[in-house]
Amino acid sequence: MVTTSGIQTRMDSSLSGFPKMRRFVYMSLTPATETTSLLSSGGRLEIFRGRRLLTLRRVGKGMTEKSHNFSGWYRAVLLLFAMLGLTNASLLARLPEVRDAVDTTTAGIGFILLGFAIGSLVGLAAAGRIIERTGVRPIVLWGFVASGCAVLVQSLAIQLGSGVGLFVGFLILGLAVSATDVAINVSGAALEQSMGKTVMPMLHAGFSVGTFVGVGIGAIGTTIHFPLVLQLILLAIATTIIAVFSVRTLPSDSRSTREELVEAAPNTPLWKSPLVLALGAGIFCITLAEGASNDWLVLSIVDDYDESRTNGAIAYAILMVAMIVTRIIGGRISDKLGRARTLQLFAVIG
């Protein structure tokens, strides 16, 4: 047993089996710097831990080098989630204006929003296989580029007053956002597993924060009568640029790593698992409620309660604040009570 402050590595009687090591087990994220060298007939294993940085080097013939900056990885995933929620929220916050711009009814808006749902189903179904082939980073990169293009299509459709064009824009956006969302979640789950602590709720809070910012921009735009099309174009450009630079911080996953993940997958089809079916049913119900509130809250406040468009956007912002708070505290509650009890608790509250 070799022990350093925050790093523990258990080796067999010989260290000659470095090439067979598949995982490096434990680290704590404390501001310290230590180096440990372990000698063996196969070379030298160096473990360097800096501030929130773990580098594992296998020095010698046939050895490789791996480096993970957990802090940078965490910030990148958090920022990507935020960018994912920002632009579309700014549009939904001004949905009454969108309805008037394309000269349609509330039922017509429902059909237009259906494009996003259809695109999302296709993106979710295809994302897993694409990630197996290409890894996470290309999906996230091109997903954000496609999302930006989709928003430009939406902007053009609003400018021309075309409901069909807006449907196509939502269709492309749903396809891009859903595939990107899966890829970011895969990276976030890998980060959570590597860190050994629950961080996914906090990462998802980034999405809610981005949505909140988008809603705030939409509310301000409505109040000061800022052009909706210009707002969408500026946000699409900004989020795409930020996302492209953030993707570079994500760890690259090699083909061998993806093959290991595929090999580690269970042979039994997931759809035959009662646990997976139960989780799927629960997620379906939760997503149905969340999607309905995202799509229809602003219109409902404006039409059914005869409130101003600004107040409709503010109501949407309040919903986002509630989601942010829940996601920030959710990880700590999950670590304390366990995931099953946490699900039961919030199911009763909800």
Q: Give the pLDDT confidence score for residue 253 in this predicted structure.
A: 64
Q: Is the pLDDT of residue 117 over 80?
A: yes
CATH topology of domain 70-253+297-349: Growth Hormone; Chain: A; (1.20.1250)
pLDDT one-digit tens code per residue, 52-103: 333 333 333 333 334 457 888 999 999 999 999 897 888 989 999 999 999 9
Cα→Cα distances 146→75, 114, 156, 176, Å: 22, 19, 15, 6
Nearest to 98 by CA among 160, 158, 24, 153: 158
Q: Give the pLDDT confidence score for residue 45 in this predicted structure.
A: 36
Nearest to 41 by CA among 67, 63, 68, 73: 63
Task: Return the higher-pLDDT residue of 344 and 268.
Answer: 344
What are the DSSP E strand ranges found in the chain?
A: 2-4, 7-9, 26-27, 34-40, 43-50, 53-59, 65-69
pLDDT band (50, 70, 90) for residue 48: very low
Q: Give the pLDDT confidence score for residue 62 in this predicted structure.
A: 37
Q: Is the pLDDT of residue 115 over 70?
A: yes
Among the residue ranges 74-83, 109-118, 197-206, 249-258, the one predicted with the least confidence is 249-258
Q: Give the pLDDT confidence score for residue 268 in this predicted structure.
A: 62
The mean pLDDT value of the chain amounts to 78
For the chain, counts of helices (H) and of strands (E): 11, 7
pLDDT one-digit tens code per residue, 198-209: 889 889 999 999
Give the residue carrying structure tokens 């708070």. Answer: 325
pLDDT band (50, 70, 90) for residue 267: low
pLDDT one-digit tens code per residue, 272-297: 788 888 888 888 888 888 888 888 99
In the chain, what are the domain boundaries?
A: 2-63, 70-253+297-349
